[in-house]
Structure 1
């Protein structure tokens, strides 16, 4: 009697080591950015294929959770629900920067904070100027203010083999402040009619969440139901539900107790980062980036005042805002640029910050809820982000070649003991600037 062959599991879970490897890969900016890019490409191809109607049916399919008072489309579940995980991780990163990171002291925080604020204000002003001159709507002023940190760091990681580590640190800190600005804008300017009972319930949930942290209560079974209830109350209050994710991230404790291996904020971030990077953000991109791309649609991007304002603000506004803000802060205040960086590096980074994908699409949906104008704004975000990424790749690849040449020259000038001539290295770095 022959033994039956074991049946293959098609959609089963991967073995534990493989699952760990996938999770670790998704914790890197490069892999997370590539997954996000793949989701956006799939959305664009699907929305412009013969199966576009199926895409729209799935995106617009409604299902609800009556116990939470929710009845949302698939697209809204990804934007209001899954993105709350993304903003939870962003809130944890904000908390870490405030407690132990670059934003811990005013001296180190000044330059990236000024750069981020100018990098939000100038694009908004440039959009308003473009829309006003063209007789368009000012509703989209906040769309080009946000930088997509996952995409930006992925591009930087692919390009950077010899660029200074300080460049990545500067971008991270700038993006953290940028995220905080985007969160405040969503909370203040994109809030519908308030339900104060629901808002009070959400606030009470956050107070309980804080108390659990303060009294060192452990166990996911406390926090997961409380987090879901707080998120649902925040949604029903009229405030954008992602604000609940940020608030919980900021509440999580980021300081270590005596004898504690890891803090709660670090543990939660470690667990949720792969879910955010591998599921939440890509699914949002899949149902947000599916716009019809045709000659007519692209013509609207460059002729209608609102989408044109988004493109101009993402590409030119981010460069002007971040570079000039950084230069003026270094010139007229006590803030100083990291000695490992040149102004050409800052210019390339400012160009890279024009990649405004995830949060820009979210704000675009809030500013223009439906209609052809909403599709044109989405297309403008994609076009502006693509132009910014291409320009940044050219500029930063050139800087990377310069730093690589300097490293090769240092290796050649190393003495018999393997010690490089530091004075020649510094002189070459100065000439490269």
Structure 2
């Protein structure tokens, strides 16, 4: 299975667990035990690293701590796409990147139109993000009704969208800066670069320095989750050994093992086997190894915990009436449901018409519009930015209602639209049609 397919498979199934977390949060908050929900996430935690002392509520610890691992995995996938995936060359990257930009600009403009001049105008970044887990999950449920190239296009678009969301968080949702903490962060980053260049492969030093870097970023005023993305970008994407080194070294180790076995030297046999194991692991890049190990943890544990901690909204008739007349709710909902597909479709159409890019194989503009509608499913990063945008609990709840309602609507409308489209032709059918057309011309 290709890396993109493995990642999509994890994200698709992880979306189910994410949805379960959101449902539990909504039921919990609207039950007689709602006070226990709020008291749980308001539990005080403290972390003393000597250089830094951090005191936070449990809910903030989830958003500022656990989500660093989520953004670290997102950063690994972004780097993979930049190095060897759909974003690795300008020709391949221009369509999903342009579509992602259009899909971010459209919702931001719609939200701003609803909230211009209001104290809530700062929330324009909320409807910009596409949730990879839910979006890929919806396309997976549609099965063969959606051609594989269209799924890869949406995945690359969502990855580029995540990169854009990270930039927005870093630039526009940064608090007042602490130059001292930034200095500590840069020092730790320099140490990481030095030991990396020095060939240090043990994971322990990197984990320790990574925690220090996160703590410094947390104190700097730059949102701590950016630390995860920066560390991911520093993760080597090439294996430690080349194929030639592997072949020569493995041949030598096999010969040593055979000699030790013939001599009955158990210690030499174990030493040769240990070196073989190290050699095999060195043929997998650190980026691949970390992504394989961490992606299931983030998809099945960290993101559902985030959903449980952030999706809880106390729903009542009065609250819903207020929310659906609120410019925050309307801006978020209209931005996701309409801004996303319009922005994605228009930028894709312009790029193709200008000859800057080509549509994915076996797809057409109607299917791109459907993918854009699915792109309106925003959840994880949208909730994350909502928490950064508003201190007022009422505005935050209105944003959450808009995110939840719009995500459900975008998923249903996008699914229904794609199901109503004619089934895509397979590659063999397309080739046969082309041959028939050529034969008829002759």
Which runs of structure 2 are paired with 1:299-318 in the superposition (5 Å)?
299-318=321-340
Aligned twin of 2:40: 58
Q: Per-residue CA shift, 1:104-146, capped at 9, x if unaligned?
A: 111111111111111111110111012239x563111110011
- The Cα of 1:296 is off from its aligned counterpart by 2.0
The answer to whether the 8 Å contact 1:25/1:31 transfers is no
Report the Cα distance in structure 2 between the residues aligned to 1:267 and 1:229, rounded to whole angstroms.
22
Report the Cα distance in structure 2 between the residues aligned to 1:100 and 1:296, rounded to whole angstroms.
51
Report the Cα distance in structure 1 between the residues aligned to 2:193 and 2:430, rounded to whole angstroms.
54
Moved more, 124-133 or 238-247: 124-133
- The Cα of 1:386 is off from its aligned counterpart by 1.1
Aligned twin of 1:44: 26
Structure ID, larger Rg? 2
The answer to whether the 8 Å contact 2:129/2:378 transfers is yes
The answer to whether the 8 Å contact 1:88/1:248 transfers is yes
The alignment partner of 1:192 has SS state of: coil
Aligned twin of 2:75: 91
TM-score by length of 2: 0.84
Structure 1 residue 267 corresponds to structure 2 residue 249:
no
The structure where helix makes up a greater share of residues is 2
Q: 1:243 to 1:136 in 2, by over 3 A?
A: closer
Report the Cα distance in structure 2 between the residues aligned to 1:91 and 1:74, rounded to whole angstroms.
24
Alignment partner for residue 238 of structure 1, among 193, 201, 221?
221
The answer to whether the 8 Å contact 1:40/1:289 transfers is yes
- The Cα of 1:26 is off from its aligned counterpart by 10
Moved more, 336-345 or 242-251: 336-345
Structure 1: 5+ residue stretches without partners: 1-23, 411-418, 429-433
- The Cα of 1:422 is off from its aligned counterpart by 3.8
Alignment partner for residue 137 of structure 1, among 114, 120, 133?
120
The alignment partner of 1:71 has SS state of: strand
Aligned twin of 1:13: none
Structure 1 residue 402 corresponds to structure 2 residue 423:
yes
Report the Cα distance in structure 2 between the residues aligned to 1:25 and 1:181, rounded to whole angstroms.
19
Report the Cα distance in structure 2 between the residues aligned to 1:380 and 1:367, rounded to whole angstroms.
14
Q: Per-residue CA shift, 1:79-117, capped at 9, x if unaligned?
A: 111110010001111111111111111111111111111
Report the Cα distance in structure 2 between the residues aligned to 1:212 and 1:33, rounded to whole angstroms.
37
The answer to whether the 8 Å contact 1:26/1:278 transfers is no
Which runs of structure 2 are paired with 1:15-34 in the superposition (5 Å)?
28-34=10-16
The alignment partner of 2:222 has SS state of: coil
Report the Cα distance in structure 1 between the residues aligned to 2:119 and 2:209, rounded to whole angstroms.
43
Aligned twin of 1:342: 364
**Aligned-residue CA RMSD in angstroms?**
2.1
Structure 1 residue 151 corresponds to structure 2 residue 134:
yes
Report the Cα distance in structure 2 between the residues aligned to 1:426 and 1:125, rounded to whole angstroms.
46
Which runs of structure 2 are paired with 1:134-283 in the superposition (5 Å)?
137-256=120-239, 257-258=241-242, 259=246, 260-283=282-305
- The Cα of 1:358 is off from its aligned counterpart by 0.4
Report the Cα distance in structure 2 between the residues aligned to 1:162 and 1:396, rounded to whole angstroms.
7
Report the Cα distance in structure 2 between the residues aligned to 1:423 and 1:394, rounded to whole angstroms.
29
Q: 1:26 to 1:397 in 2, by over 3 A?
A: closer
Q: Per-residue CA shift, 1:341-369, capped at 9, x if unaligned?
A: 11111011000111110000010011002
The alignment partner of 1:139 has SS state of: helix
The answer to whether the 8 Å contact 2:29/2:37 transfers is yes
Report the Cα distance in structure 1 between the residues aligned to 2:121 and 2:351, rounded to whole angstroms.
29
The answer to whether the 8 Å contact 1:111/1:329 transfers is yes
Q: 1:427 to 1:157 in 2, by over 3 A?
A: farther
Structure 1 residue 362 corresponds to structure 2 residue 384:
yes
Report the Cα distance in structure 2 between the residues aligned to 1:198 and 1:351, rounded to whole angstroms.
42
Which runs of structure 2 are paired with 1:375-386 in the superposition (5 Å)?
375-386=397-408
Moved more, 124-133 or 357-366: 124-133
- The Cα of 1:220 is off from its aligned counterpart by 1.6
Report the Cα distance in structure 2 between the residues aligned to 1:27 and 1:337, rounded to whole angstroms.
23
Structure 2: 5+ residue stretches without partners: 1-5, 247-281, 438-442
Query: How many residue pairs align between the two structures?
Result: 391
Structure 1 residue 387 corresponds to structure 2 residue 371:
no
Structure 1 residue 124 corresponds to structure 2 residue 108:
yes
